[in-house]
Homo-oligomer: A and B are copies of this chain.
């Protein structure tokens, strides 16, 4: 098990420490951890948010555990040197086209959501966001119109292969859950979406046991507020997924508890909490490490086939919450270390 550990900026460092302690507590065989800089700290130390030595490690490893990037000190840097470019670079280089973001209410914490407890409590969905195509990676730039005006442009595009492979991941995920798939697009306006819908329908033929429906993105944004409990698996392109997955996470109410996985064709993946680097609380030892720890659990499941160990971690995190050991983000006062300690103790 060769893991590239990229803690990154801000609270990334602190929460990563706890995730590694949890992994060690499991007594995993052959655990090899290699560390590298990414984001703002990588820019400071090496002049680039995703330096070659980091990328080399990432390509050699079996999986990447990623903390968070983002540093206000980098706000004035040129675009290609900003921390978030490391995120886009890693996705492209690792070809992790499938981003899995489970959003599930935690028992007893429904009240944290801005949604009513019964609405928030019913959330149990998985967003599958395409991550290496769409308007993110199409041609883009600045040009001058015939009238001599400045114009910015970005090309959205998907080909059938890109759509097909993420659709297969989504249908398979639905088979392992409640067998409902909602594909989100804007096929009443976008030609990219028309092809998206066509290909998803074609792939559906291989999964007769999964109930498929299509929804326009504007309606999906409404439904995620009105009744998020209606969704099982949601499949979306990169830009719509960016918006909807953040919305869905916030519906749960506790983004300090949500993890994500980004996968390609093999078992290699990148695992990270969905929250950011939180520079405002960095270094104080009060960040909640749970999402980072749950990201490690997703890694054990998806990259190393260790479902039992993944479940153990997930259960331990849930138990600790139920014991009322809550971080500052959840209205409690437990420190980063105390939460880590409690989860390690629970695993023992």
Contacts and interface: CB of A to CB of B under 8 A. Distances in A.
Interface of A: 79, 82, 84, 88, 114-116, 119, 135-136, 138, 140-142, 145, 147, 149-161, 186, 188-196, 199, 217-219, 221-227, 239-240, 242-247, 249-251, 255
B151 A153 contact: no
B156 A151 contact: no
Contacts of A199: 150
A325 to B, nearest CB: 24
Contact of A246 (B115, B152, B222): B222
A191 B142 contact: yes
A159 B199 CA distance: 33
B239 A251 contact: no
Given A116-B114, A119-B114, A225-B251, A190 B243 contact: no
A188 B82 contact: yes
A145 B161 CA distance: 11
Contacts of A84: 188
B88 A136 contact: no
B157 A153 contact: yes
Contact of A191 (B141, B192, B240): B141
Q: Is the interface of A mostly helix, strand, loop or mixed?
A: helix
User: Ordered nearest first, which 6 A-B pairs have the shortest CB separation?
Assistant: A152-B195, A153-B157, A221-B247, A152-B192, A151-B159, A222-B250
Given A153-B192, A154-B155, A226-B250, 6 more contacts: A140-B192, A145-B159, A152-B191, A153-B157, A154-B192, A225-B247
Contacts of A222: 246-247, 249-250, 255
B142 A156 contact: no
Contacts of A141: 191
A138 B150 CA distance: 16
A289 B149 CA distance: 44
B156 A135 contact: yes
A119 to B, nearest CB: 5
A216 B30 CA distance: 42
Contacts of A135: 135, 156, 189-190
A239 B153 contact: no
A161 B149 contact: yes
12 contacts: A84-B188, A135-B156, A147-B159, A150-B195, A152-B192, A153-B157, A153-B192, A154-B190, A155-B155, A218-B242, A225-B225, A226-B250
Nearest to A220: B243
Contacts of A225: 114-115, 225, 247, 250-251
A179 B150 CA distance: 28
A256 B213 CA distance: 25
B153 A191 contact: yes
A152 B157 contact: yes
Nearest to A85: B188
A71 to B, nearest CB: 13
A149 B226 CA distance: 38
Nearest to A151: B159
A159 B149 contact: yes
Contact of A151 (B79, B150, B160, B226): B160
A66 to B, nearest CB: 17
B160 A191 contact: no
